[in-house]
Amino acid sequence: MDSNTQWDGMEHDYLLRLKSTHPSLRLLGADNLPLIASFLCTVFLKPNRRSIPYPELVSRLDDYLYGIRRVHGEEFYSKSGRDYLEDWSRSETPFLRKYYVQQSDEPECDLTPDTEKALEWLRSLVQEKRFVGTESRLLTLFDLLKELARQTESNSQARVEALEKEKASLEEKIEKAREGIFERLDSTQVKERFFELEETAQKLLADFRQIESNFRGLDRETRERIASNEKAKGLLLDEIFLDHDVIWDSDQGKSFKAFWEFLMSPPRQEEFDKLLQAVYGRKEIRALSPDLFLSKIQHYLLEAGEKVYRTNNMLADQLRKFLDDQAYLENRRIMELIKGFEKTAIEVKNNPPKDRDFMEVDDVVPDFDLVMSRGLFAPVVSPVISAETFSEDEPDVPLDVLYNQIYVDEHQLLSNIRKMLESSEQVSLNQIVSRFPLEKGLAEAVTYLNIASRDSKAMVDEEQTELITYRMPTGEARRLKIPLLIFTRHDLITKGSS
C-alpha cells in the first residue's frame, strides 16, 4: 500500500454525500453538539457504562438540562429530556441505540460505534496533549516489525540464528543484572509508556461497540432472511451457518476469539493483576495521580466481551425459534395427512375394494431400537431398618438469638432525610449522620443505602468515599467507609414514606 492508497475515497462528491449521511459527521454538525457530546460523555464514557435503562437516562438528562438552564436561562434547550432522547435515537442515522432486552418491559440505550468515534475525536481536541511520546511508539513499531519478520520466516536456519542471537543478548543482560547493572526507565520514559498504555486501553474498549454492531447486523440479516424464506430448511440453514462461519473465520472474528481466550485464561488474569499492581506501585506512576481506569480495564473488557457474546447468542436463539416453527409446521402437515387417510377410510367403509390384496404394509408399527433409548442399569438398594428410638427431649439449641434481632425504622430514616432537605437542596449521608447519629450501627447505614437504591434522584459516587462514625452499644467507636451518598430534594422521598 503506497501513501496515495491510504487517502482513496476522499473525492469531493463522495465527501459531500458523507457529510449529510454519516452519523459521526451529523453529530459534529448538530446544533446541539455541546449538549449531546457533554451529556453522552458524562453518562456513558466517563463511568465506562455499556448500556443504561431508558427511564434512568431520561431522569439524568432532565437533571442535566436543569443545571444548564440555571446558568444560561430557561430558554436554553427548550425541549424535555425525553424529547431530546427520542430525537437522538429515532433518526435514520441515530446517535443512540434504543433497544429492549429479554424479560424487560423498559428499553435500554447504548452509544452507536459512530457516535463513540465522534466523541473520541472531540476528546482529542479538547484535552491538552500531555506530551507527544515518540520513543515508546517507535519501540512499539520496531517490536511489531521484528515480530512480523520473525514469525513469518520459513527458513529454520534463519530462525535458529535469530533465537541464538536473542539468547546471547538475554544471557548478557542476566549477567549484568547479577552484578547490579541494569537499565531503568527515567521519569519521562515511564510517563510516556503509561500514557500510551491508557490510550491503547481506551481505544481497545471503544472497538467493542463496533464488533457488537457487526454481530448485531448479522443477526438482523438472519431474521430478515428467515422472514422472507421460501427455500427448504436445510438450504436456509446452510446459508446461515456459512455466513456465521465467515464472520468467525474473518480476521476480526479470529482476533476476537484469540483476545477472549487470552482474557479468560486464569494464569493470564493473575499475571495481568500482578503487573497492574506493580505498575501502580511505582513512585513515578503515583506522582502522576492517575485515575483508576487502567486498573479496572480487565473488568471493563470482560463486560464488553460478554455483551458481544450475548449479541452473538441472539443468532442461536433465532435459529432455535426457526427450527421450532418448522417442526410445528411439519407436524401440522403430518396431522393433515393422517386426517386425509381417516377420511378416505370412512368413504370406502361401505364400498370396500373387491380385490383381496389391495394394499401391502411392511409392519403395523415401526420397530425402533435406539441405543440412547435403553435404560441404564440400576442396582437394587436394600433398605436398612434401624430399631433405634428417638427421644422427645428439648433440643440443645440456644434460642435467645431469635429475640435479639435489630429492628431499623425506615420511616424514621426517611423523616431524617426530609428534615435535612428542608434547609438544603442536597445532603450527604455524612451530614445526615452528624445531625442524627446512627443508633443501630451498621444495620442503620445499610438501610440508608437501601433507600438510596430505590430513589432515582439519589446519587452514589463509587469513585469517592466518605467515613461514617458511629458507636457500638458498648461505647466503642467504629468507622465505616462507604461510597459517597447524596440525597436530593424531590417528591420521591415523600412518596416512599407513605
First to last CA, the chain: 70
User: In a 3-state reduction of DSSP, which class is residue 477?
Assistant: strand
Neighbours of 40 (CB within 10 A): 23
**Residue 213, Cβ density class (10 Å: 0-12 exposed, 13-18 middle, ≥19 buried):** middle
The answer to whether 325 and 333 have CB atoms below 8 angstroms apart is no
84, amino acid identity: Y
Range with lowest mean pLDDT among 8-17, 206-215, 239-248, 470-479: 239-248
C-alpha cell recorded at residue 16: 459531500
Give pLDDT tens digits for 267-291: 877 877 888 788 777 777 777 777 7
In the chain, the domains with their CATH numbers are 17-126 (1.10.10), 135-140+187-349 (no CATH), 405-496 (1.10.10)
299, amino acid identity: H
- The pLDDT assigned to 56 comes to 92
Give the pLDDT mean for 467-488.
80
Distance CA 33, CA 27 (A): 7
Residue for cell digits 468507622? 479
How does 167-196 read in b/e, with b if 16+ C-beta sit within 10 Å?
eeeeeeeeeeeeeeeeeeeeeeebbbbbbb
Give pLDDT tens digits for 137-177: 666 666 667 677 767 777 888 878 888 888 888 888 788 77
Instruction: Give alpha helix (H) positions in 228-296.
Output: 233-249, 251-264, 266-281, 283-286
The answer to whether 460 and 483 have CB atoms below 8 angstroms apart is yes
Range with lowest mean pLDDT among 54-68, 87-101, 257-271, 310-324: 310-324
- The pLDDT assigned to 2 comes to 47
- The pLDDT assigned to 74 comes to 82
* pLDDT of 331 strictly over 50: yes
- The pLDDT assigned to 496 comes to 42
CA dihedral sign of residues 487, 491, 492, 495: positive
User: In a 3-state reduction of DSSP, which class is residue 331?
Assistant: helix
Distance CA 361, CA 359 (A): 7
* pLDDT of 412 strictly over 80: yes
Q: Which residue has the higher pLDDT, 319 or 410?
A: 410
Give the pLDDT band (50/70/90) at residue 136: low
Neighbours of 454 (CB within 10 A): 9
- The pLDDT assigned to 226 comes to 65
Distance CA 485, CA 462 (A): 9
Give the pLDDT mean for 320-343.
79
- With CA atoms as reference, report the closest residue to 454 among 493, 409, 413, 408: 493
> Please, which residues have CB within 8 angstroms of residue 289's CB and are 6 or more apart in sequence?
none
Distance CA 371, CA 191 (A): 66
Summary mean pLDDT of the chain: 76
Give the pLDDT mean for 214-220.
71
The answer to whether 477 and 449 have CB atoms below 8 angstroms apart is no
The answer to whether 484 and 461 have CB atoms below 8 angstroms apart is yes
- The pLDDT assigned to 252 comes to 62
Give the pLDDT mean for 24-30.
84
In this structure, what are the phi and psi dihedrals at residue 228, rounded to the nearest 5 degrees?
-105, 25
Give the pLDDT mean for 315-334.
73
* pLDDT of 118 strictly over 80: yes
C-alpha cell recorded at residue 452: 438510596
* pLDDT of 3 strictly over 50: no
Give pLDDT tens digits for 419-462: 888 888 888 888 888 888 887 777 888 888 888 888 877 888 88
Distance CA 192, CA 173 (A): 24
DSSP 147-197: HHHHHT---HHHHHHHHHHHHHHHHHHHHHHHTT------HHHHHHHHHHH
Give pLDDT tens digits for 390-408: 666 665 666 665 555 667 7
- The pLDDT assigned to 494 comes to 45
